[in-house]
Amino acid sequence: MSTQTPFLPVENPTLPFWLTDRSALDEHRSTPDLPDESDIVIIGGGYAGVSLAYHLLTSPSYGKTRPSITILEARTICSGATGRNGGHLRPDIYGLIPLNIQRHGLEGATELAEFELSHVKAIKDVIEKEQIDCDLIMTRNMNVYLDEDRGNRVRKVIEDLKARGCQFLDDISFLPERNIESTSGVKGAKVAFSYTSGTIWPYKFILGLLSKVLEYGCDKVNIQTNTPVDSVTNYEPDSHLVHTPRGTIKAKKVVYTTNAYTFGLLPEYERAIYPARGLAVHIDVPEGQTPPHLSYSYALRPHPQEGVDYFVVRPDGSIIVGGAHQTHKHPDPENNEQWFRNIDDSTLIESTKNYFDGYMQKYFRGWENSGAYVKEIWTGIMGYSFDSAPHVGEIPSRPGQYICAGFTGHGMPVIYLSSKGVADIILEGKKFEEVHVPRGFKATAERLEAAANDTLGGDIFRKF
Ligand SMILES: Cc1cc2nc3c(=O)[nH]c(=O)nc-3n(C[C@H](O)[C@H](O)[C@H](O)COP(=O)(O)OP(=O)(O)OC[C@H]3O[C@@H](n4cnc5c(N)ncnc54)[C@H](O)[C@@H]3O)c2cc1C
């Protein structure tokens, strides 16, 4: 019988392509035993946890107090969503913008789009500064619609936003109708437009940042992998006890970078951040053959109403693609156990696992006789926020405890600077409003209450 704790990452997860070339650092333990105390304990060693540690250490304010930092990771570094995603650094500059205008006004929505766009440069800059070898490619993200009505609806949204003065859309360029198929490379493409994005090897990016964390933090940083946190209790104000099967750490400040798994340690987030299972694959051609060239990354919408396949081209021409939500993201409670509140990344999604067989041959020009096949297939657990926005900052009613989680399957152009905001709040005692994070991300009691009272389950059940 399994002794698995119901809210912790499962054992023996599926193997993503990204983890087929591993660094010894991902099982790192700085010391054989846990430290007895640490000024800051970060729970979770994915993109959010490691980039938070990096920002703490590289902040000009760090030197004033030099707090000690411990990262506790249940499995290995980057074994969660970050090591299993699609590798797409693609800002969302139109999908959720209308909803954000409704909720936060034009200024709030513009702030969000610009925040996401600024990640492309921020990540490029840190990769160059720290000389991290992680296959960053600056590219154009080609958004392709096979259904004309669906494509035209989106074109209208973009035109309307432009008419309202959204300058962040200026980079979008629509393909002229006469050569949509030949330029996009997608068979049957009806509407297509592109804008600047990046593709990246997420695991190598985070492991590269981690090596810098260890270098800059030498005597102040302690990394402990394979160390799940069971619970956090209060000891006295500004002092917490972080409990693990390997012992307890006394911490002044605790940060939850646990994304999908947050509900296990913070029950008040149970309805605010849901685990949602997704699937991705690596498509390659048989050995000795060269994949037909593709010049873009893609967000491909093959179906009339719903779903998007997000798609990056590796430097060797092979493909990483995920999505296919329409094959499993059923909203009705009788039929949603394959993805909703499912934290099992050790198995595949039954209704999706064959979706990508023959995918390139079906949708891309010149791939018909390529022999392209699914080489690796895996699942990963996303943390869907009920209102689609992450929760960032000090946790309501828990002084000295912070959160940076709930990235709703879209963390690459959001997390790096969100975690910088948390670092500034912790080190400089700044208010949320004083750091550069979109207003809709603020961790508030109102958002938790709205989630608790939402009978539908939030945006997750409204948009496909
Ligand atoms: C299939 C898939 C495809 C995706 N594709 C893209 C994409 O192309 N572009 C994009 O922008 N986003 C994508 N995402 C989303 C993106 O991967 C996430 O938003 C991002 O990785 C979240 O990073 P994180 O650090 O918050 O979470 P994670 O990487 O999940 O890290 C959380 C860590 O916390 C650890 N943990 C949890 N509970 C505990 C505990 N109690 N004690 C100790 N440790 C704990 C976990 O083991 C995990 O390592 C995708 C996600 C999936 C699953």
**3-class SS letters over 154-204:** HHHHHHHHHHCCCHHHCCCEECCHHHHHHHHCECCCCEEEEEEEEECCHHH
Dist CA 238 CA 227 (whole Å): 23
Which protein residue's CA is at the shortest distance from atom 3 of ligand 1?
85
Helix axis angle for 97-130 and 202-217, nearest 10°, is 60
For position 2, what pLDDT does the model report?
A: 52
82 ligand 1 Cβ < 6 A: yes
For position 464, what pLDDT does the model report?
A: 42
**Domain spanning 17-85+203-273+387-461, CATH class:** alpha beta
320 CA: nearest ligand 1 atom? 8
275 ligand 1 Cβ < 6 A: no
CB neighbour class for 268 (10 Å; exposed up to 12, middle 13-18, buried from 19): middle
The CATH number assigned to the domain with range 136-200+274-385 reads 3.30.9.10
Token duo for residue 267: 């029950």
264 CA: nearest ligand 1 atom? 41
Token duo for residue 279: 């699937």
**Residue 165 zone, left/alpha/beta (φ > 0; ψ -120 to 50; rest):** left
- Shortest CA distance to 52 belongs to which of 260, 221, 244? 221
Dist CA 177 CA 415 (whole Å): 36
3-state SS string over the chain? CCCCCCCCCCCCCCCCHHHHCCCHHHHCECCCCCCCEEEEEEECCCHHHHHHHHHHHHCCCHHHHCCCEEEECCCCCCCCHHHHCCCEECCCCCCCHHHHHHHHHHHHHHHHHHHHHHHHHHHHHHHHHHCCCCCCEEEEEEEEECCHHHHHHHHHHHHHHHHCCCHHHCCCEECCHHHHHHHHCECCCCEEEEEEEEECCHHHHHHHHHHHHHHHHCCCEEEECCCCCCEEEEEECCEEEEEECCEEEEEEEEEECCHHHHHHHCHHHCCCEEEEEEEEEEEECCCCCCCCCCCCEEEEECCCCCCCEEEEECCCCCEEEECCHHHCCCCCHHHCCCCECCCCCCCCCCCCCCCCCCHHHHHECCCCCCCCEEEEEEEEEEEEECCCCCEEEECCCCCCEEEEECCCCCCCCCHHHHHHHHHHHHHHCCCHHHCCCCHHHECCHHHHHHHHCCCCCCHHHCCC
312 CA: nearest ligand 1 atom? 8
Dist CA 100 CA 109 (whole Å): 5
Compute, in angstroms, the gap from residue 46 CA to the centroid of ligand 1.
6
Residues 56/62, Cβ–Cβ less than 8 Å:
yes
What are the average pLDDT values for consecutive 10-residue runs of the chain, which has 464 residues?
78 97 96 98 98 98 97 98 98 94 95 97 98 98 97 96 96 95 97 98 98 97 98 87 98 98 97 96 97 97 92 97 90 82 96 97 98 98 96 96 97 98 97 97 97 80 60
Compute, in angstroms, the gap from residue 44 CA to the centroid of ligand 1.
9
For position 374, what pLDDT does the model report?
A: 98
Equal CATH topology for 17-85+203-273+387-461 and 136-200+274-385: no
50 CA: nearest ligand 1 atom? 25
Contacts 24+ apart (CB under 8 A), 347-352: 347/14, 347/379, 348/14, 348/279, 348/377, 348/378, 348/379, 349/277, 349/278, 349/279, 349/379, 351/327, 352/279, 352/324, 352/327, 352/328
Residue 197 phi/psi, 5-degree rounding, is -150, 180
Compute, in angstroms, the gap from residue 33 CA to the centroid of ligand 1.
26
Pairing state between β 69-72 and 37-43: parallel
Longest Cα–Cα distance in the chain: 68
Beta-carbon contacts of residue 196 (< 8 Å; ≥ 6 apart): 120, 138, 139, 140, 141, 171
Which protein residue's CA is at the shortest distance from atom 9 of ligand 1?
88
43 ligand 1 Cβ < 6 A: yes
Residues 161/97, Cβ–Cβ less than 8 Å:
yes
For position 455, what pLDDT does the model report?
A: 72
Dist CA 389 CA 405 (whole Å): 9
In the chain, domain spans: 17-85+203-273+387-461, 136-200+274-385
Name the residue of 4, 29, 47, 348 whose CB sits within 8 Å of the most ligand 1 atoms, as the mutation to test its pocket: 47
85 ligand 1 Cβ < 6 A: yes
Residues 117/177, Cβ–Cβ less than 8 Å:
no
Pairing state between β 221-224 and 239-244: unpaired
